[in-house]
Amino acid sequence: MEYVWAGIIFWYLIIFVYKTKTGSPTVPSKDTQIARFLKYVKRGDNVADLGCGDGRVLFSTAKKGASGEGWEIEPLPYLYAVIRAMRKKNSKIKIHFADMWKADLSKFDVVFVYQLTRYAPRFVRKCQKEMKRGALVIANTYPLDGLYLLKKDGELYVYKIR
């Protein structure tokens, strides 16, 4: 039994260290922030949440008739999101247990991100390289300098790819 616990702790340590190099800790978006975000999502849109946590942002977009994909690297929020998607029988939501930096952003109309500022330059380059013209990038709390800012809406920064 000790080996199992040691294995779990070791695995978590690896993920923790990895996340300090690639993204933020798990802090969920607030309901007010999600409500604001939904103003920018239309029925039929394809939405991505990079580092989707428990999937709350994606489940809300699904209520608006959008489809969505999330990437999450931490096992517990990932499992929670997958179970939620199964219980809701929601085929419009796909959650990947994978590194968000491997996501191909070319097919998304709206990309949501809530990661610390220090990842912004790398993230901006990824958006500029992969995303289609007219697509939106919405960053919670931490700005993404280098993208075209359409609007600051509360704690959200709304960018348009040009």
Binding mask 89-128 toward ligand SAM (x if CB under 6 A, else -) reads ----------xxx------------xx-------------
DSSP string, 71-122: EE-SHHHHHHHHHHHHHTT-TTEEEEES-GGG--GGG-SEEEE---GGGHHH
Q: Cβ(82)–Cβ(95) under 8 Å?
A: yes
Q: Is 23 in the site for ligand SAM (CB under 6 A)?
A: yes
Q: Give which of 28, 93, 33 is closest to 59, Cα–Cα.
A: 93
Q: Give which of 86, 85, 162, 156 is closest to 124, Cα–Cα.
A: 162
From 36, 47, 53, 144, residue interacting with ligand SAM (rule: CB under 6 A)? 53
3-state secondary structure (DSSP) of residue 56:
helix
Q: Is 51 in the site for ligand SAM (CB under 6 A)?
A: yes
Nearer to ligand SAM, 28 or 143 (CB): 28
Q: How far is the CB of 27 from ligand SAM (least distance, A)?
A: 4
Q: Is 69 in the site for ligand SAM (CB under 6 A)?
A: no
Q: How far is the CB of 78 from ligand SAM (least distance, A)?
A: 8
Site residues (vs ligand SAM, CB under 6 A): 19, 22-24, 26-29, 49, 51-53, 56-57, 71-74, 77, 99-101, 114-115, 140
